[in-house]
Structure 1
C-alpha cells in the first residue's frame, strides 16, 4: 500500500474510504458509467486480496434516484442526488447522447456546481465535459472530450481551453477524458494517484488494458478511419504491409491501385482521411511497434525492415505518431 494520501479519506460505512460518485442521467452512455466503476471495483478487489480494507465506496447518482435508461437501452440503478451529508472524494460526470438535455436542466447543473465545490477532485468522461462546462467547473482550465466534439465544446464554452488530442487532461483537481474507453484510462490514473503505480498496474493487467496508453486519441481516430476504407483499399494495404521495406512512392502505390497518381491521391484521402504518405508512415510505425514489443531485433534492423532506412528517420516518425521514441516504446511495452 502507498503512503498516506495528502487528502484524508472520508469515513464511510465504518471505515476510511474514498467516496466516488458517478453522475448518470437518461441516455447516458453505458460504458462511461461502468468503465470507470469497474476500475475502482478491481482496485477494491486488489487491496482486499492483500488483506486491506477496500479503498473506495462507489455510488451512481441521478436526478430522482429512480434509475435511468442508458443509450444502450440498459437500465441502471441509481441513488438520488445527495444534497447534504458526506462530501464525495471524487465526482465523475459521465457522457452520452443525453448530455445536452442534462446540461439544459438548471436544477442538475446547479447540483453539479455545488457538488464540484465539495468534492476533492472532479472528472468527466467523454461528452460529460459539456455538463461540467455548463456548471462553470471548466472555466479557465484545460480540458478534453471526444475528438469529434472538441470543436463544439470550444465553440459553446470559449472560457474552456480545449485540447483535442490527449486521452485525458488534468488541470489541478479537475480531470477530463476523451471518448468512451478513455474513461478507463482516466480512472486508472486516479487509482495510481491514490494507491500508487503498483496497484494501478495490477488493475490494468487484470482488465487487459494499458496503464498508460501510447499516443493520443487523434492517432486512434485516424487509424480507424484508415480501416474504414478496407473495402476499397484493403488489398492495397495488405500489399503495402508485405513491401514496407520497398520504396513506396506515390507512383508505385497508384500503379498498384490501378489509378492515376492524381486520382489515387484524391480517392485515398477521401476514403481514409489521411494522405498516402501519412498512411505509409503509420503502417510502418505499426509494424515497428510489433517488432519492438515482440522481438529482440536491434532498433537499426527494425528501422530497415520497416522501410524507414535509418534509426533517426524511425525516431522522428515515432515522435510524430506516438509521442515516444522507439527506445522508450520498447522499454515500456516489450514482452
Structure 2
C-alpha cells in the first residue's frame, strides 16, 4: 500500500483535494487498495479552505506516516511566507518519503525548505517570476504543467495537479491503469508534464461557437490534411467569411493555428515516448519525420529527439 499524506494549511486551495479523486479511482481501476489517502495539518483538527469549507485533519507525526507528501498552496504565496515549524516538518517528511509534491503554489514551501536547490520545478504561471526570485538556485520551468526531478514533483495551476497525480499513478501502476483512470474521470486528454500551461485552444480563445466548432473539428482530424474549406464547412460558413472571422477572433490565420495544434499534440506524444517519431509525424499531420523536425526547430528551438531525451532524463528512478 502506498500512503499519500496531504499537508493542508489555513486558506489552502480547495482544488488540491480534487487530486485525491485520481487516487480513489486508480484503486477502483486497479481493483486493489493500492493508495491510502489522509489529510494532515501541523496541529490537526479543522482546517478552513480559501472558500470557507472546513476539512478535518490529523496531526502530523515524525514525517514517516506517508510514502508521498502532497504540500498544498494558498491563493497568494507572496503574502504569506511558510511558517518555520511547517518548513521543519517538510524537511523531515522529505527525508522519510518517496516523493514530496508541491501542488501549485505549494512549490513555494518546498523552495523555502531548500528542496528545490539545483532542481527543476514549476508553479502557476502568475507566480513564476516570484518563484525565480525566491529560489535562485532552482531551475524553474516557465511553462510546464508539472515537473519531476528525482523525488521532487511540482505542478502549475491545480487542474495541472490532476495531470501530476495521474503521472504518479503511471509511475506506480503503469500507463494502462493511468489511462483507464483518466477515462473514468472523463479527462479530455492525459497530459505529460512538458505541455504549456496555456493550451493552444485556450490561447486562441475563439469568441463564437462556429470558430470553436471548427477548431474542435481540426483537433479531431489532425492526422488528415485540413484545408480552410474543411474548417469553413464545419463552421457552416463560406471560406472567405470563415477566414475573416477566424483571423478577427484569434489573431492568427487558420493555417498557423492548425500548425500550433499539431505541434501541441506531437509534443505530448514525443514526451510520453511510446511511439516512434515516424508514427507521431503521421498521426499529427506532418508530411514525415523530417517535416516534424523542421517545424519543431523553427517553433520550439529544439529537435523532437532532444525533447524526448529531456523527458526521459527527468523521469524518476
Give the TM-score normalised by the residue count of structure 2: 0.69
Aligned length: 271
1:146 aligns with 2:130: no
1:187 aligns with 2:143: no
Q: Structure 2 residue aligned with 1:281, among 256, 268, 271?
A: 256
Give the TM-score normalised by the residue count of structure 1: 0.66
1:26 aligns with 2:10: yes
Structure whose alpha-carbon radius of gyration is higher: 1
Provide closer, same or farther for how the CA distance between residues 205 and 276 of structure 1 changes in structure 2, counting only shifts above 3 A: closer
Preserved CA contact (<8 Å) 1:236 1:256: no
Preserved CA contact (<8 Å) 2:9 2:41: yes
**Cα deviation per residue 1:38-59 (whole Å; 9 max; x = unaligned)?**
1111122223x3xx4x112111
**Cα deviation per residue 1:217-252 (whole Å; 9 max; x = unaligned)?**
2442x643431x738xx888889999x7359xxxx9
Matches within 5 A, 1:1-335: 17-35=1-19, 37-47=20-30, 49=31, 52=32, 54-80=33-59, 82-84=60-62, 86-97=64-75, 99-100=77-78, 103-209=81-187, 210-213=189-192, 216-220=195-199, 223-227=201-205, 230=207, 245=227, 256=244, 276=252, 280-283=255-258, 285-286=260-261, 316-317=294-295, 320=299
C-alpha displacement of 1:107:
1.5
Paired residue secondary structure (1:211) = coil
Rounded Cα–Cα distance in structure 1 between residues aligned with 2:177 and 2:35: 13
Preserved CA contact (<8 Å) 1:150 1:164: yes
Rounded Cα–Cα distance in structure 2 between residues aligned with 1:164 and 1:38: 27
**Cα deviation per residue 1:82-125 (whole Å; 9 max; x = unaligned)?**
23374420011122315446533111122112211111111111
**Cα deviation per residue 1:165-218 (whole Å; 9 max; x = unaligned)?**
222111111111121111111111111111222222221111122333596124
Provide closer, same or farther for how the CA distance between residues 318 and 175 of structure 1 changes in structure 2, counting only shifts above 3 A: same
Paired residue secondary structure (2:118) = coil
Rounded Cα–Cα distance in structure 1 between residues aligned with 2:178 and 2:41: 28
The runs of 5 or more residues in structure 2 that have no matched partner are 219-225, 230-239, 266-280, 306-317
